[in-house]
Amino acid sequence: MAEVIANGLGNGPGSQPQLSLQKIYVKDVSFEAPNAPQIFQDVSELNEAPQVQLNLTQRATGLGNDLYEVVLSLTLTCTANDRTAYLAEVHQAGLFGIAGFNEQDHASIIGSYCPNLLFPYARQVISALVQEGGFPPFLLQPINFEALYAEQQRRVAGGEAPTLNS
């Protein structure tokens, strides 16, 4: 098996495919409650639940030496009475060493494995932001990144624009 070296992954002839997680980190985070404190009163008087919308994007950047930064971005927008209660956003990133895989497997790792690994961290950050912002706890449901990646591949093959950026 190829050895991991200081400046990247060994990928000479005869190397075995290698996938390594180098680091997980928050690249950017923000929380806004633009209508506070009035929105707290509005939310407590609602007869229906506030509306929550999740936007999810992903971006991968090659850094050389078989090292890739994958950034999973989640934006959670909560509205009540047609006003924004809060907006929580996190760009959860990871550095991944990926070497020796064929093009299809490499794309699958970037498109499903990496975001699947990053999601629990992003979910925790969003949950903490919402609760520390004074709102009831919110836990994002698990996301099937394999299914999202398969759907993206199907759309690309059919000539449609992909919905999850990569």
- Whether the Cβ atoms of residue 152 and residue 105 lie closer than 8 Å to each other: no
Alpha carbons 135 and 39: distance in angstroms, whole number: 10
In a domain, 80, yes or no: yes
- Statement: residue 163 has pLDDT above 70: no
Pick 62 or 7 by higher pLDDT: 62
Structure tokens at 12: 């000479």
Task: Classify residue 135: in a domain, yes or no.
Answer: yes
pLDDT in tens, 68-85: 999 999 999 999 888 999
Per-residue confidence band for 40, with pLDDT thresholds at 50, 70 and 90: confident
Alpha-carbon distances of 71 from 16, 76, 136, 148, rounded to whole Å = 26, 16, 27, 16
- Are the C-beta atoms of 20 and 27 separated by less than 8 Å? no
pLDDT score at 5: 37
- Per-residue pLDDT, 162: 60
What value does the mean pLDDT take over residues 47-60?
Answer: 90
93 touches 24 (CB < 8 A): yes
Tell me whether residue 29 is in a domain. yes
Look at residue 123 and tell me if it is in a domain. yes
Has residue 4 been placed in a domain? no
pLDDT at site 137: 86
Is residue 164 in a domain?
Answer: no
In this structure, is residue 165 part of a structural domain?
A: no
- For the chain, give the percent of residues with pLDDT over 70: 84
Q: What is the mean pLDDT of the chain?
A: 88
Please give the Cα distance from 71 to 90 (Å, whole number).
10
Task: Tell me if 10 is assigned to some domain.
Answer: no
Is the pLDDT at 2 greater than 50, yes or no? no
Query: Does 32 or 162 have the greater pLDDT score?
Result: 32
User: How many structural domains comprise the chain?
Assistant: 1
SS (H, E, C) the chain: CCCEECCEECCCCCCCCEEEEEEEEEEEEEEECCCCCHHHHHHHCCCCCCEEEEEEEEEEEEEECCEEEEEEEEEEEEEECCEEEEEEEEEEEEEEEEECCCHHHHHHHHHHHHHHHHHHHHHHHHHHHHHHCCCCCCCCCCCCHHHHHHHHHHHHHCCCCCCCCC
- pTM given for the model: 0.83
The per-residue pLDDT for 41 is: 80
Phi, psi angles (nearest 5°) of residue 67: -110, 135
As a whole number of angstroms, the distance between CA 114 and CA 105 comes to 12
Q: Which domain CATH number covers 34?
A: 3.10.420.10
Q: Which domain holds residue 137?
A: 18-157
